[in-house]
Structure 1
Amino acid sequence: MKAAVAAFFELPFQEKKKYAKAENEIEGYGQNFVVSEHQKLDWSDMIFLFTFPSQNRNFKFWPLSLPGFKEALEEYSREMQKLAEELQANFSVLMGLKRDGLKRLQGGELKQGIRMNYYPICSRPDLVLGISPHSDGTSFTSLLQDDDVTGLQIKHNEAWVPVKPIPNSLIVNIGDATEIQSNEMYKSIEHRAVTNEKKPRISIATFMFPDDEQEIGPVETMIDDQNRPKLYRNIKYVDYVREKFSRKMEGKAHTQFAKLRTSDH
């Protein structure tokens, strides 16, 4: 998978541009969260593809002429879906449901999209980020990092902590949808990527998320009026995502959009 992604980013710009995303679309090659000509853009090259279920694949964005790319991505997607099912089942149990509890609430399988990132060498890493601080709007995100370049940082106690890569491992981040469903028992992690002046870096983020039409809100087993009142309203997942993509990436500002105000309790 890493080799296939590296081969894509090595293509000439004119070739990569053939897979460019359309305006107001998130699928394809190019940056998201661009809302103004004056904002500072992230120092990265990226392509995002919907990968599961397979009928959601739009092959016009896939570099099919690149040898081995389609096969690598399909196999990786399959394995990531198995991981998603296992994570979802375990979180169901942690939230006081049966193993298939979250799956049933979400009306079936988690959807999947994969974002492939390339962070070129940057001569002034103090001036620009590879990716701005944000939390993912997903249920879970699994990240495959370069084994020897540390780029990911997570926010902990108001400080940025580097996440050193462990070879042959995946990092799993909790996303906003799980924070909302768990009534904030499991918080989505704010993270960013820094640039490097000596080495380029590749990362592959697999996003696992509910169906667009699915309503997400705190599950009954995570609400206790005395100790843990309901903190989030129920919201259709697609509306949450639209709100998220309509603004610049600014930490966890968008989770406030789904929060109940104290007067709503």
Structure 2
Amino acid sequence: MPEMPELENYRKLISEKILDAPITNVKVNKENTVNLDGDTLASELENIKVIFVERRGKFLNFHLDNGRRLLVNLMVGGYIQYGKQEDYPDHNAQVEISFGEFTLYFMLPRSGYVHLLCAKEAGEVLSQLGRELSDRRMGMDRFVNMVKVRRGALKTLLVNQSVIAGIGNRYADEISFEAKLLPSTKVQDLETEAIERLYHSMKLILNQAAESGGSINKPFTNEDLHTGSYKLQVYDREGERCVQCNGVIDKVELNGRRAFFCPTCQHEQ
């Protein structure tokens, strides 16, 4: 599932291509991915312009020039591509939004969606999310105090969208590895130094991954060689060698989620 780095990469790339260009056509190939029927959605969006693309957690929020919002959640397996029809002759997009001869293709294979909402409705959805790590109000002291009142496994905390928005399975494992903490570590037992190390690791991993275009190798355009450049250190690498100690990456299940880690490099503190 795309997480903060992938969505931030999309936000930048989409903003470079479509801002202030009128929407000329909308095609819905799977009705349950939108909140209006396809014809109504196409009618509502005709000649409307996107004036700003916001990322919030794992959502993309398209601000329209009529005050409404297109709220996009890619969910598991989702991705976005941009180009002309001939660029993707075998595409399987559930929703297509065209700007003249160029189209944004939304690949939403599972429960992803594109919803047209008023600003208040979009705000209500996004208000359920926790703070972004990039939020100026989320400094070191606030983060330490926030963690100290939580309980449970570290990975469970990191993927809790109502606490910290934007982190999912893959970057929770990458952050834990960078912080040298086991994903199973009980957060209520963490000392202040370990929480501060976690904070720095979160900022480092998320920023590096975003700058590298995330880790999902689905190019945004045919010419895109940047998207998916980030190399994962532990996630989904069970049985492979650790890049730091040459030990073997292991896997454990925590509350129904897989967690990958190096048993040599990562510890309880």
Normalising by structure 1, report the TM-score: 0.30
Normalising by structure 2, report the TM-score: 0.30
Q: Which fold has the larger relative contact order, with Cα–Cα distance below 8 Å and residues 6 or more apart in sequence?
A: 1
